[in-house]
Amino acid sequence: MMSPMLSKGQNVPLPDDVVRVDVVIGWTESEIEVDASALLLGADRNVGSDGDFVFYNQPESPDGSVRFMGTSATEEGAQARIGIDLATVPSNVHTVALVGSVSSGTFGDLGKLTLRVVDAAGHSLAEYATADATTESAFVFGEVYRRGGEWKVRAVGQGWESGLAGLATDFGVDVDEDAEHEVTESALAAPVSDPEPTAPASVVTPDPAREQPNGPDARTTAKSQGVRTAKRRPTKGKPVEFKLAEADSWQPARLFSVIGVGAGEEQERRATSALVATMQVVRPFARAVCARMGAPVGAFEGFVEVQYERGESSVVPDAVLKVLRGGRVWTGLLEVKTGNGKLRRDQLESYLDVARKKKYDAVVSLSNDIPAGPGELPVEVDRRKLTKVELRHLSWAEVAHEARMLLSHGDIDNDMHTWILSEFLRYLDHPRSGASEFVDMGRHWVAVREAVTAGILRAGDQKALTVADKWVSLSRHLALRLTAELGVTVKHILPRRHYTDPTARNAAVAERLAADGTFEAVLRIPDTAGDLVVVADVRTNRIRCHTTLGAPNEGTAGRRLSWLLRQLEEAPGDVQVEAAFSERGTEVCEHLDKVRADPKVLTAGRPGTIVSFSLEQSFPMGSRRSGTAASFIASVTSAVDTFYGPVMQPLRGWVPAAPKQSEQPTPDAVPTTGK
């Protein structure tokens, strides 16, 4: 059933059996960071205390009912998530306002803005989309509120030009204005190993309304010294260097040894232990991984091989994960698979039964399966088991992605923690760990490849649909790899309806594969001149990477071409350069080495002027379904890396010169008239 699409001011009731929801705030221009927050409001439309303001510096309300769960990339842009436990929201809280803010730019720069309310299984309950924002720097997307004991969702779409601090102040929050302009040395110097706070970051006076929710003046206002809305500046530790080896073959000792690692359960136990131990020591890594699981920011602890009774049998998840925040404990059961191990429905459902009985929050699966879309699960389970427990999935690729992001671009200010996280990543990178990123196109790959070559593949073939799903997973893997390496959010671009309809998405990929024998992925990398398009041609066994950028809108065709060639000094000569001219249907293509020798091969005698350039490079395609050598996946990954560095990375879009001011006479030069 389709979720209601709300317009501004409309509302819709939430189902009675839904006790927990996630509110997902999304935007299409991921280059601009949006900070999501929530305000718990009473009947007077004000907070009862500063603790009722939930955001990045104060990620949970005092009662634990509302949590800020972090920001993540999506193929359509970026999103921030706020979790609401409807069953534990205090009775004196009438409304939870869902807010976004930007520290630079405005909401008018963000493209389409969306608010989506989803249940524990990820199914959408209500949606609101708008593109009406202009100069606002803070924006109330919507509200989750109750009327007569019933929870509802309302689309609001109201903006503020005073930023997060101004909006929070309007709802009764005391903001520490002095803290907006500086971050104290003590805050920057706090070691990562310090225990996570068990209460919100600001000092909050207890709200009497929490103790006496039915009193006539239940929400007595209790103010703190002010909430700090300034963000903490990231710091970075130095990696440990080993310089005394006498030969390159000498390897430093491993923190997580791979000696003697077998397969199956032993491999899973080793990988699980390495992951949990690293999360317990390296707090930023724990926060990043927990955010993907839907857990709050807080003190993390993990336990392995915990046994639970289930009827006459026992259930032993690979790990039990706990996060303490604000006096509330989030608990998740973790099921891990490595190598070719596959998640089983019966196993996950048994964990869901245990979690529900123990009143735990989530069951998390972790395997080498990379779902084609975020939020998709590799195994379907009985939805009735998800009414009070969430089921989330993580891939080992995403875990490795978070580790690489932190090591290259993150906030780890402790040298020892940097080394420990590096050692964990070193363990994952070893084949014996069983934690591969994406190395297998599935058992139908060879049959589908041969059918394409023979011209007998049909779009409705179930094998083709399975391989199509694998291709989309590979495309998402490419975006994750580039995100970790470049430190910016790289998006895999799909048609809008394919984000929410995997069946239509896979059918479209299979149809193209059957029609012309090709796969295509479009990757959008911030601050590049154009999208990176990857085409794998199964019939010719070639992989083509290309990008298109607009030409300067001034100067002759020769000058426009010279502008491009100056940016391609390090690009290989076999790159194809295509120039598209203003005269419809006029395109000319030559190899770069030939254009360098004689630029006129692209420009001489062509009608009109150049309006755009396309650059393309071709690479051999591996045929094997898996492995690291001669495999299809390895060849696609290598092609993307080889094309991006010397070809795309140096390119910058054309920026015209600022308009010139007309010359004005100086005051002394102004003639005067006499009588």
Among residues 72, 86, 105, the alpha carbon closest in space to that of 151 is found at 86
With cut-offs at 50, 70 and 90, classify the pLDDT of residue 163.
Answer: confident
Dihedral of CA atoms 493, 495, 497, 499 in degrees, nearest 10, equals: -10
Question: What DSSP designation does 659 have?
Answer: P
Residue with tokens 């999208």: 531
Q: Which residue has the higher pLDDT, 378 or 364?
A: 364
Phi, psi of 303, deg, nearest 5: -135, 140
Residue 669 — left, alpha, or beta (φ > 0 → left; ψ -120 to 50 → alpha)?
A: alpha
Q: Which residue has the higher pLDDT, 165 or 47?
A: 47
In this predicted structure, the answer to whether residue 429 has a pLDDT above a threshold of 90 is: no
The two counts, helices (H) then strands (E), for the chain are 16, 26
**pLDDT tens digits for range 441-468:** 888 999 999 999 999 999 889 999 999 9
In this predicted structure, the answer to whether residue 539 has a pLDDT above a threshold of 80 is: yes
Helix, coil or strand: residue 283:
helix
Span 20-38, average pLDDT: 79
In this predicted structure, the answer to whether residue 427 has a pLDDT above a threshold of 60 is: yes
Q: State the SS3 of 332-398.
A: EEEEECCCCCCCCHHHHHHHHHHHHHHCCCEEEEEECCCCCCCCCCCCCCCHHHHCCCEEEEEEHHH
Q: Which residue has the higher pLDDT, 574 or 498?
A: 574
pLDDT at site 603 = 84
pLDDT at site 196 = 41
Average pLDDT over the chain, rounded to whole?
81
Question: What DSSP designation does 170 have?
Answer: H
pTM of the predicted protein model: 0.60
pLDDT at site 17 = 80
Is the C-alpha dihedral spanning 150, 152, 158, 160 positive or negative?
A: positive
With cut-offs at 50, 70 and 90, classify the pLDDT of residue 663.
Answer: low
When mean pLDDT is compared across 259-273, 332-346, 367-381, 549-563, the lowest value belongs to 367-381
Residue 389 — left, alpha, or beta (φ > 0 → left; ψ -120 to 50 → alpha)?
A: beta
Instruction: Please answer whether residues 139 and 99 qualify as being in contact, where contact means their C-beta atoms are separated by less than 8 angstroms.
Output: yes
Please measure the distance between the N-terminal and C-terminal CA atoms of the chain and give it in whole angstroms. 87
Any residues with CB less than 8 A from the CB of 99 and at least 6 apart, and which? Answer: 36, 37, 38, 39, 138, 139, 140, 141, 164, 167
Beta bridge partners of 53: 39
In this predicted structure, the answer to whether residue 180 has a pLDDT above a threshold of 50 is: no
Residue with tokens 């390119």: 651
Instruction: Please answer whether residues 77 and 491 qualify as being in contact, where contact means their C-beta atoms are separated by less than 8 angstroms.
Output: yes
Of the spans 186-190, 381-385, 664-668, which averages the highest pLDDT? 381-385
- E-assigned strands of 66-167? 66-74, 77-85, 95-101, 113-118, 124-130, 138-147, 150-160
With cut-offs at 50, 70 and 90, classify the pLDDT of residue 277.
Answer: very high
**pLDDT tens digits for range 91-123:** 889 999 998 888 767 777 776 788 889 887 677
What is the spatial distance between Cα 222 and Cα 172, in angstroms, rounded to a whole number? Answer: 10
Percent of the chain with pLDDT over 70: 84
Instruction: Please answer whether residues 308 and 358 qualify as being in contact, where contact means their C-beta atoms are separated by less than 8 angstroms.
Output: yes
What is the spatial distance between Cα 285 and Cα 295, in angstroms, rounded to a whole number? Answer: 13
- Please report, for the chain, the start and end positions of each structural domain, with discontinuous segments joined by +: 5-184, 265-433, 445-648
CA distances from 448 to 169, 205, 510, 517, 634 (A): 60, 65, 10, 10, 18
- Stated length of the chain: 675
- E-assigned strands of 246-304? 299-304
CATH T-level fold of 5-184: Lipoxygenase-1 (2.60.60)
659 C-beta neighbours (distance < 10 Å), count = 6
Is the C-alpha dihedral spanning 513, 516, 518, 519 positive or negative?
A: negative
Span 405-420, average pLDDT: 83
Span 378-404, average pLDDT: 87
pLDDT at site 225 = 54
**pLDDT tens digits for range 203-247:** 333 343 333 344 434 444 444 456 665 555 555 666 677 777 778
CA distances from 292 to 269, 326, 362, 391, 423 (A): 21, 20, 12, 12, 22
pLDDT at site 210 = 36
Long-range contacts of range 251-254, CB-CB < 8 Å, 24 or more positions apart?
254/423, 254/426, 254/427
In 3-state terms, the chain is what percent helix, strand and coil (to 5)? Answer: 30, 25, 45
When mean pLDDT is compared across 28-37, 268-277, 301-310, 413-422, the lowest value belongs to 28-37
With cut-offs at 50, 70 and 90, classify the pLDDT of residue 605.
Answer: confident
Percent of the chain with pLDDT over 90: 30
Q: Which residue has the higher pLDDT, 563 or 228?
A: 563
Q: Which residue has the higher pLDDT, 143 or 491?
A: 143
Beta bridge partners of 134: none
